[in-house]
Structure 1
Amino acid sequence: MRLTRLPIEITTLFYLAMYVPYILITRYLTTTPNEALGRPFTGLEILPATLIIGLVMLVAFVWLSGWWRSANRVRVGPWRIPAPTRWTFLAGIGTSLLLFTVPLSLTFEGVSIPFIQLLMRGDVLIIAPLVDLVAGRRVRWYSWVALVLVSIALALTLWERGGLHMPPLAIAAVVLYTIGYFIRLSVMTRVAKNGNEDSLRGYFVEEKIVGMPLAIVGLAIVTLSPLANQGSELNWGFIQVWNSDAIWPLIWLSVMFTGIAVFAALILLDPRENTFCVPFERAASILAGTAAAYLLALFFGQAFPTRMELIGMILLIAAIVLLSLAPRWEARAASGAKLGAARA
């Protein structure tokens, strides 16, 4: 099976299949008291191991799949090894911001999964058409409609909540996430959204060989900083986690993380405009969050999604259906028009 040739709808299903258990494991670890600690893990405690194991798995994936052959390479002695260009290095910086804000977003007390996902994904949906317009790419009518649907879902949820009302670290995570995605989408649009499989694979490898190590190094620097509580949490996550009973859930978390990284890239690097691809990926992640929230409510006693969050989910489903069917309608209409002109 050639992953790069899968229809975007099938890729999105695989993405959902990875994202739901990823959210469940993350939320379970950060809400269920650990026997050794006497409390749940914090997001900063589970993050280092997730990134380190995820880096190993991503290296294994690009090696076994052969994707590394499509990357830009430089000669080091007798070897030619993958290396980023200046553009993919910039994308890697944006990716590093996503790598620690996404898992952190699932750990804030009093902030529901559907709400934080609507907020973070909504910000990216707003910048998607801006990236397209700056790049001179045409934004089709159905992409604008899908954007409006998802924006309404976000507005309704914010209205019901009465505003943000989130911890400062959660707001910072949203801001950094949005900046990271703006950088990433801009570079994707410039160098890799062209329908060329080599460009897609090369971009993925070059972005990740910068983003993953940079995120890990950034976290390691925090452990040496004056941030006492956060530093001690990260120190535990770098050193003591390997001997804890959390290591096996974290390995599974990293497996899901690797799958999410691959399938998200395949969706976003589809050659169609960002205003088409981004709502597809954003809506799928929000649906995964909503599904996970229901499972957590049913089996772990956590809060059910609110009425407005459910309305938001319905609007997102409508956006996905529109984005899936509208291009086919246009292609069929264009084919019919050509056939009619030929007969005339």
Structure 2
Amino acid sequence: MEGWVGLYVLAYLPNVMITRMVTGFADPVLGRPLTGLETLPASLLINLVLTYGFIWASGWHVHAHAVRLGRFRLPCPTRWTLLSGLGTGLVLFTVPLSLTFQGVSVPFIQLVMRGDVLIIAPLVDLVFGRRVRWWSWAALAMVALALGITLQDRGGLHLPPLAILTVVLYTIGYFLRLAVMTRVGKNGDLAVLRAYFVEEKMIALPLSVAMLAAISASGLGGQAGELATGFITVWSLPAIWPLVAIGVTLTIISVLAIIILMAPAENAYCVPLERAASLVAGVGGSVLLAWGWGMKMPRGAELLGAGILIGAIALLSLAPRWRREISKTP
């Protein structure tokens, strides 16, 4: 598991950095940075194409439920993976957007969003009758402490309205996703994991793009105009290449995340491990941007929070080993 988490951090780090750079430095043609909404359509469309390519090239599609249309076998979600796809569509829509709010640091918005998920993770376990071990509760407490330190340092939860909506939609989406994972797939069976990934993504990715397209087509407010730029204009800008890189990293992250979250252990173990890793990547990316590109350094409380999260990852990695060693001792 540690290897998957390490790869996850390495994939998440450039995703955070490139997203902040695209939205923080001026595009040579536009003469200004892209907004968060302008980056979303292209990055999600690229993610969609690459994910479908991965599903086909890896052969994971053969594990999915399917229907026959003549000679063709077409993957088809169950009612449960359909529901999970709806939740994941919300997550895919909100995660990149959360990195782009002006005046809101990456570590802070990530702590707020991940904090909500950490609350629902053990609740899902309890609903489904899964045991939550002491190290999972301890890691949850450590991540909650990191969230509390950062919130207190910033004087409370003060976010723009769109950022608050983003947090709410993200939390709803993750609740649906965790509930379905626990219902159908956390049993260590690789075939089940692959089927879940295929069926979830075939719903979630088109849905997230469709949500953006609907807002763009509505013509209401500045958000619609920004999304129209993201669907049409951005493809001819120099910024398209960083957006391709964002789409590539999103694809890699999605594969690694499903491996971590679908592990047989309780959600109160898997979720803090995956969420803490993403938070560490967010803080690390902000530090690297400050050192190399003169962007704002994370606040001291955010760095302290990152240190606590690294401790949580270490605890989740080592505690199960300690338990196994103790159980072997005569």
| Shared fold (TM-score, shorter chain, > 0.5) | yes
Q: 1:153 & 1:228 partners in 2: Cα distance?
A: 36
- 1:228 CA drift (Å): 2.9
1:329, distance to aligned residue in structure 2 (A) = 1.2
Q: Give, in whole Å, the separation in 1 of the partners of 2:69 and 2:231.
A: 30
Which amino acid in 2 is paired with 1:204?
F
Q: Considering only aligned residues, what root-mean-square deviation do their CA atoms show, in Å?
A: 0.9
Partner of 2:62: 69
Q: Which runs of structure 2 are paired with 1:117-196 in the superposition (5 Å)?
A: 117-196=110-189
Task: Tell me the residue number matched to 1:216.
Answer: 209
Q: How does 1:1-344 map to 2 (within 5 A)?
A: 8-336=1-329, 340=330
Q: What are the Cα deviations for residues 78-124 of structure 1, in whole angstroms up to 9, with x where unaligned? A: 21111100000000000000111111111001101111111111110
How far apart in 2 are the matches of 1:78 and 1:219? 34
Q: How far does residue 240 in structure 1 lie from its aligned partner after superposition?
A: 1.6
TM-score, reference length from structure 2 = 0.98
Kindly provide the amino acid, as one letter, of the partner of residue 149 in structure 2: L
Contact 2:46 2:244 in 1 (8 A): yes
> Per-residue deviation at 1:334?
1.9
Name which of structure 1's ranges 132-141 and 249-258 shifts more when overlaid on structure 2.
249-258
How far 1:335 moved relative to its partner? 2.3
Listed as ranges, the gaps of 5+ residues in structure 2 are: none
Which amino acid is the alignment partner of residue 23 of structure 1?
V
Aligned letter for 2:262? Answer: L
How much does 1:257 deviate?
0.7
- C-alpha contact 2:43 2:246 (8 A) present in aligned 1: yes
1:160-210 CA-partner distances (Å, limit 9, x unpaired)? 101111110001101110110000000000101011010000000100000
Q: Equivalents in 1 of 2:7, 2:136: separation in Å?
A: 22
Q: Which amino acid aligns with 1:208?
A: K
C-alpha distance after superposition, 1:263-297 (max 9, x if no partner): 01111011100000000000000000011000111
What one-letter code is carried by the residue in structure 2 that aligns with 1:273? E
Structure 1 distance, partners of 2:265, 2:142, is: 19
> Structure 1 stretches (4+) deviating beyond 3 angstroms?
none
User: 1: distance between equivalents of 2:106 and 2:72?
Assistant: 45
- Aligned partners of 1:73 and 1:271: how far apart in 2? 25
SS of aligned partner of 1:31:
coil
Q: Could you tell me which residue of structure 2 aligns to residue 5 of structure 1?
A: none
CA distance in 2, matches of 1:314, 1:235: 40
**What percent identity do the matched residue pairs reach?**
57
The AA in structure 1 aligned to 2:210 is V
In 1, are the aligned partners of 2:279 and 2:306 still within 8 Å (CA)?
yes
- Which residue identity does 1:292 align to in structure 2? G
Q: Secondary structure at the match of 2:96?
A: helix
Shift of 1:298: 1.2
Map Cα deviations across residues 125-157 of structure 1 (whole Å, 9 max, x no partner). Answer: 111000000010000010000000100110010
Partner of 1:4: none
Secondary structure at 2:28 match in 1: coil
Q: CA deviation at 1:77?
A: 2.2
* TM-score, L = length of structure 1: 0.94
**In 2, Cα distance between equivalents of 1:70 and 1:82:** 9
The answer to whether the 8 A contact 2:219-2:225 is kept is: no
